[in-house]
Amino acid sequence: MRADLRDTLIRGARVIDPASGFDQVADLLIRDGRIADFGASLGKPDDALVIDAADAVLCPGLVDMRAALGEPGYEYRETIASAAEAAAFGGITTLAALPDSAPAIDDPALARLLRARGEETASLTILPYGAVTRGCAGQELAELGLLREAGAVAFTDGTHAVGSARMMRLALSYARGFGARIVQHPEDPELAQGGAATEGELATRLGLPGIPAAAEAMLIARDIRLAALTGGAVHFAHVSTAEAVALIRRAKEDGLAVTCDTAPPYFDLNETAIGEYRTYAKLSPPLRAEADRLAIAAALADGTIDAVASDHQPRDADDKRLPFAQATPGGAGLATLLAVSLVQVHNGALPMIRALELLTAAPAALLGVEAGRIARGAPADLCLFAPERAWKVAAGTLPGKAQNTPFDGRALEGVVLGTWKAGRRVHASATP
C-alpha cells in the first residue's frame, strides 16, 4: 500500500453508478487506491478511516469532456495546477483538454506532455484533444494518426470551427480509419464574425452586433451530410439551439455516427443574463432565447444530448473589463459543473441517475476511456456530494485562477464534500 493511502470506508451514502444502473444506499471501501467493495453494511477493516455519508450521494468522479486549461501559452488566465484545484472542488477527476493553446496541441510530444502534466497534479487525469488542423488555423490537416498514437482522445480545433467543408470531409475520412471522432465547434465562421450576442430584439436594443442562431444549425446540417458521405463520426460541442438538437435528433434516427454535448449555461441561462452588458455572460456560442434554453433542457431528458461538459474557458480581468462587443467570450465552469446540472434534478426535469450519467459514464464512453464508473477493482475516482446543501457562487472566491463565471451571484444546491483520485482524497469540504 502507498504510504499516502489509507483504507477508507464511506458509509451510508446513496451510491449511484450510472454505467451499471446501481442506485441504492450502501457502503464503499477504498483500499490501495481502488474500489475494494461496495454494498449494504460492509464490515469495517482494522484501522480504516470511516466517513459517515448519510444523506450524501457518492458517484464516480466527474468526466469533463471539454475544458480549456490556459496552459500552455495563457498561464495568466489559468494553469494546470489552478485548473486541477477547481476541478477537485467540482468533483471532476478526468478532464479532456482543448488543443487551441499556444502552441496548439498539433504535435504528438505536446499531447504526451499534457498527459504527464495531469499525472503530476495527482488529482486530475488530463486527456488531450489533438488539433484537427495545424495551429487550429483551418488550413492544413494535422498529423491525426501520430496524435492518436500519442494519446489524443479525439480531434477538434477547440473554439475555432472547421469552416472548410473540404477540410472537414478529409478529417472525418481520415479519423474514421482509426475509430476517432471529430469534435466541431458548430458555428458558421462567416456568419459569426464580429458578433457579440444572439441576433434578435435584445441585441438590437443593446446595440450589439448579432450572431444569427441559424449559424449553429447551418454548420451542423453541413457536417451531418459530411458524416453521411464519409461514414465518419462527428461530435457537436456545446449545442445551444432548438434547431440544432432537432437536426441531431433526426441524424441519430437515421443511424449516423452523430453525437453532441452541451454546457450548463445553455440549459440554465438565457440571453437576458447579459443584462446591461454583463461580460461574464458573454460566451461562445452566445446565450440564446428562452425557447432555445427549454429545447436544450428537453434534449437532455430525451437522450438527444449525450453529455454535459463544463466548457471551461478561463479569462482574466483584462479579457472581460472591456466594452461588451470587445470583451473576450468564455466562462469558467469547473467549480459549478455539478451544482448547475443538479438544478435539472431539483426542478424534476431529470432523475438523479440520468444527470450523473451525463457527467460521468456518458462522456467517458464518448472519449473511449476507462473512467466514470464504480466497479470492484476500478480506480477509486469518486465524488461525494450533498445534493440539498445550498451555496452561492461568488466570483473572486472560487477555487482556481479563473473567476469569470456567468453564474456569479447564483444560489445553487449541491456541494461537493469530497473528491478522491485513485483513492487519495484531493478535496474535502465541510463534514463529513
Query: What's the CA gap between 317 and 418, in Å, rounded?
Result: 30
As a three-state string, the secondary structure of the chain is CCCCCCCEEEEEEEEEECCCCEEEEEEEEEECCEEEEEECCCCCCCCCEEEECCCCEEEECEEEEEECCCCCCCCCCCCHHHHHHHHHHCCEEEEEECCCCCCCCCCHHHHHHHHHHHHHHCCCEEEECECCEHHHCCCCECCHHHHHHCCCCCEECCCCCCCCHHHHHHHHHHHHCCCCEEEECCCCHHHHCCCCEECCHHHHHHCCCEECCHHHHHHHHHHHHHHHHHCCEEEECCCCCHHHHHHHHHHHHCCCCEEEEECHHHHHCCHHHHCCCCHHHCCCCCCCCHHHHHHHHHHHHHCCCCEECCCECCCCHHHHCCCCCCCCCCECCCCCHHHHHHHHHHCCCCCHHHHHHHHCHHHHHHHCCCCCCCCCCCECCEEEEEEEEEEECCCCCCCCCCCCCCCCCCEEEEEEEEEEECCEEEEECCCC
* pTM of the full structure: 0.95
Q: What is the largest CA-CA distance in the chain?
A: 67
**pLDDT confidence bin for 5, thresholds 50/70/90:** confident
Residues 127-186: tens digit of each pLDDT: 999 999 999 999 999 999 999 999 999 999 999 999 999 999 999 999 999 999 999 999
- Judged against a pLDDT cut of 90, whether residue 425 lies above it is answered with yes
Q: What is the pLDDT of residues 108-127, one digit of tens each?
A: 999 999 999 999 999 999 99
Residue with cell 475494494: 36
411 closest CA partner among 339, 330, 331: 339
- Residue 14 sits at φ, ψ, to 5 deg, of -80, 105
Residue 199 has pLDDT above 70, yes or no: yes
On the question of pLDDT at 3 being above 70, the answer is: no
Alpha carbon distance 125, 83 (integer Å): 12
Q: What does the pLDDT read at residue 43?
A: 81
Tell me whether strands 181-184 and 233-236 are parallel, antiparallel or unpaired: parallel
In sequence order, which residues have a C-beta less than 8 Å from that of residue 10 and are 6 or more positions away? 27, 28, 29, 30, 51, 53, 58, 382, 384
Residue 398 binned pLDDT confidence (cut-offs 50, 70, 90): very high
Among candidate residues 7, 64, 107, 311, the one labeled active-site is 311
Q: Average pLDDT over the chain, rounded to whole?
A: 96
How many percent of the chain have pLDDT more than 90? 95
Nearest residue to 349 (alpha-carbon basis) of 294, 399, 389: 294
Rg (CA), the chain: 21
| pLDDT one-digit tens code per residue, 250-288 | 999 999 999 999 999 999 999 999 999 999 999 999 999
pLDDT tier, 4 (very low <50, low <70, confident <90, very high otherwise): low
Q: Stretch 359-377: mean pLDDT, rounded?
A: 97
State the residue for C-alpha cell 453529455.
Answer: 307
Question: Is residue 42's pLDDT more than 90?
Answer: no
The span from the CA of 119 to the CA of 427, in Å, is 16
- The domains located in the chain, with CATH, are 8-58+378-428 (2.30.40.10), 62-367 (3.20.20.140)
Q: Specify the pLDDT at position 47.
A: 86
What is the tens place of the pLDDT at every residue in 272-328? 999 999 999 999 999 999 999 999 999 999 999 999 999 999 999 999 999 999 999
Using the predicted structure, report yes or no on whether residue 432 has a pLDDT greater than 80: no
Confidence band for 333, pLDDT divided at 50, 70 and 90: very high
Is 107 marked active-site?
A: no
Question: Which pLDDT value is given to residue 1?
Answer: 41
At 83-94, the pLDDT tens digits run 999 999 999 999
pLDDT for the residue numbered 430: 56
